[in-house]
């Protein structure tokens, strides 16, 4: 064990490694430091919550689907393709 494992994680480091933390790819020793810091830092607790909220909201963004005209054109193309296939 070296000094790294005993060194407290500061807020500035936490905001840089938070994605690794949420992905579960943070090294064990750093995850321990992360959790230890979080336990006593309301601002970082808020930061983590904000990140989680962001991901949740992103999942609610609606996606734009294709224009009806495009779908029609695709169906026509499909039929042409199908009809040109021998042996079907």
Partner 1 sequence: MTPIAEMSSGEVDLIDRLRNGDEAAFVCLVNTHSASLKRLALAFVSSDAVAEEVVQETWLAVLTGIARFEGRSSVKTWIFKILANRAKTRAIREKRTINFSELEDPSEPDHAAVDPQRFLRASHPTWPGHWTSPLEAWSGSAEDAVVSRETMDVLQRGLDRLPPAQRIVVALRDVHGWPAMEVCEVLGLSEANQRVLLHRGRSRLRGTLEGYFAGNA
Site residues (vs partner 1, CB under 8 A): 10-13, 15-16, 18-20, 23, 25, 41-44, 46-47, 49-51, 53-61, 63-67, 70-71, 73-75, 77-79, 81-82, 85, 88
Other beta carbons within 10 angstroms of residue 34's beta carbon come to 20
Tokens found for residue 40: 């006593």
Q: Which C-beta is closer to partner 1: that of 2 or that of 85?
A: 85
1 versus 69: smaller Cβ distance to partner 1: 69
C-alpha closest to that of 12 among 35, 37, 29, 32: 37
- Of the two residues 27 and 53, which places its CB atom closer to partner 1 in the complex? 53
In whole angstroms, the minimum distance from the beta carbon of 26 to partner 1 comes to: 11
**Going by C-beta distance under 8 Å and a sequence separation of 6 or more, which residues neighbour residue 74?**
66
The CB density around residue 71, as the number of other CB atoms within 10 Å, is: 11
Rounded to a whole number of angstroms, the minimum distance from the CB of residue 43 to partner 1 is 4
């Amino acid at each position: 064990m070296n000094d790294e494992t005993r060194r407290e994680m500061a807020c500035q480091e936490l905001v840089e490694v938070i994605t690794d933390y949420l992905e579960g790819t943070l090294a064990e020793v750093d995850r321990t430091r992360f959790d230890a810091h979080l336990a006593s830092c309301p601002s970082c607790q808020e930061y983590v919550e904000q990140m989680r909220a962001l991901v949740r909201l992103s999942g609610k963004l609606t996606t734009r689907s294709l224009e009806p005209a495009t779908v029609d054109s695709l169906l026509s193309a499909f039929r042409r393709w199908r009809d040109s296939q021998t042996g079907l």
